Amino acid sequence: MPSSRQTSPPWPSRARAGFFIGLAVALASAQAQPMGALDAADPVHPGTPPPPLVLPTTVSADTPAPPDNIAQARAIWQRANQRVAEFPRGHIDLLRWESRQPDDTATTTSGAQAAPGLDFAQALRLSLRHRPELFTHADMNALARAQVRVAYAGHVRELRRAWIDAIATRQRERLLGDVLDATRSGSELGRRMVTAGNWSQARQMREQLIEASAWQASVSARGAAIAAQERLAQKLGLWEAQTVSRLGEQLPPGLPTPPAQPEPGEGLSPAMLEATALSRHPTLANERLLAQRELAVPVPSRQQAWRDAVTAALDAMPEPGPTATPPHIADLNLLRDHAVQRAASAEAALLRQASERRSMARQAWAALQLRHATALHAQDVVARLQTSLEQETLLRYNGMLQSSWELLASARERLASLDAALLARRDFWHAQADWQAVLAGADYAGPDTSTSSSATTVAPAGH
């Protein structure tokens, strides 16, 4: 996975200094080895309280009462029109301006947030400070060293996934906050129209339901961001609440754009993938050598006799059913030939492992290509079409050919397409982490099920 340093703009020296000061604090905390570990496990240690959880304001279920008479409705409508006339784009500009006026609670992007942030190489080094079992040692034999290599490859994969999720969930939280803002504009505009008397309360309730759904999605995204940050903190060995709360600010602002083409690796071609996965497995070559030795012991005629006995047992096996029994070999002379048995067992075990490794390589590479195609399609086709559609809707709105509701619905659809593109990008980097782990000797983690948390779609208002 490429470093975020390649895609992030330069950042000020003050921001750089602030970031590295924060990172140095985290590193110092991890380096305080036995005292830090003892403090972390001591219930008497007070620790530091986590920052308060800040959620968006909740949605009201109340609807405004319509005007009592025509004169009151006319007066309300005249006041609203006078205020709207001050803005070139009417109601939408008015609502956006008002949302910024009384209390601008939007968090200003700090220097740490604008910085390239904690890249994966730094995170990996930090995580390994409390994983001594993932270090190889000079006195290890080949088998022990191979086992550490497999465990290390699995750790790198899981840490990379946690790092990706921590970045993506923060980015998604901001995006779904924008969706909530768009729905609130529609709800507020509907409330004013009900107050003026030219809209029913039923139509306003539909806008409030859309806003309520967006609020739930925004809060869920906040919870996912907290959970992902905590998972990453666990893998990094960070335990103080204040240090963990600042971890998100040290992450890159977003995931890198997927490359133009999925790459199997430096110097690799698609034809070499299975062979590479086999050659890089730490113990497979040794197991192949042991199986080769076992197969060389029995005479060929005895091995052929065993194969014939297996074939005969399979042919005589009853049809599958409730009373079916496994295949049976009755030749005791053959069964007591230990050389034949060891050779057959070694050959079968090696075949199972080799077929699994080849299958893992094919699955991981196919998943990487599929996730790459999906990410580029969501980014370059769907999101681009939704953006163009919103721009066209805005032009028609300015020409008084479409309503404010159609403009708000178009904005929500564009944000939903950006959410889908973000999830597709996250899934691509997950697949990239899985592929690199397979090449390093770890097992394939299986199909990525994270796409079950699909993009939040906000239904357009039916006006």
pLDDT at 23 over 80: no
> Vertex 392, ends 388 and 394: CA angle to 5°?
115
Q: Do 103 and 239 contact (CB within 8 A), yes or no?
A: no
CB 120 within 8 A of CB 158: no
**Percent of the chain at pLDDT exceeding 70:** 72
Answer whether 29's CB lies under 8 Å from 243's CB.
Answer: yes
DSSP class of residue 136?
-
Strands (E) across 139-231 are located at none
CA–CA separation, 392 and 81 (whole Å) = 25
More confident residue, 284 or 56: 284
- Over 60: is that where the pLDDT of 107 sits? no
Q: What is the rounded CA–CA span in Å between residue 457 and residue 459? A: 6
Q: For residue 453, name the pLDDT band (cuts at 50, 70, 90).
A: very low
pLDDT in tens, 198-224: 777 788 788 888 889 999 999 999 999
**Predicted local distance difference test score (pLDDT) of residue 94:** 47
Structure tokens at 115: 């910085």
Average pLDDT of the residues in 164-178: 93
Whether 106 and 2 have beta carbons less than 8 Å apart is answered as no
Of 101 and 307, the structure prediction assigns the larger pLDDT to 307
Looking at residue 321, the DSSP 8-state letter turns out to be S
Banded pLDDT at 323 (limits 50, 70, 90): confident
For the segment 105-125, the average pLDDT, to the nearest whole number, is 60
Q: What separation in angstroms does the CA of 393 have from each of 80, 153, 380, 407?
A: 24, 50, 20, 6
Percent of the chain residues topping a pLDDT of 90: 40
Task: Give yes or no for a contact between 357 and 278, defined as CB atoms under 8 angstroms apart.
Answer: yes
- Predicted confidence at residue 96, as pLDDT, reads 55
Distance CA 90, CA 192 (A): 13
Q: Is the predicted pLDDT of residue 5 greater than 50, yes or no?
A: no
Say whether pLDDT at 408 is over 50: yes
Instruction: Kindly give, in sequence order, each residue whose CB lies less than 8 Å from that of residue 29, ignoring residues fewer than 6 positions away.
Output: 36, 238, 239, 240, 243
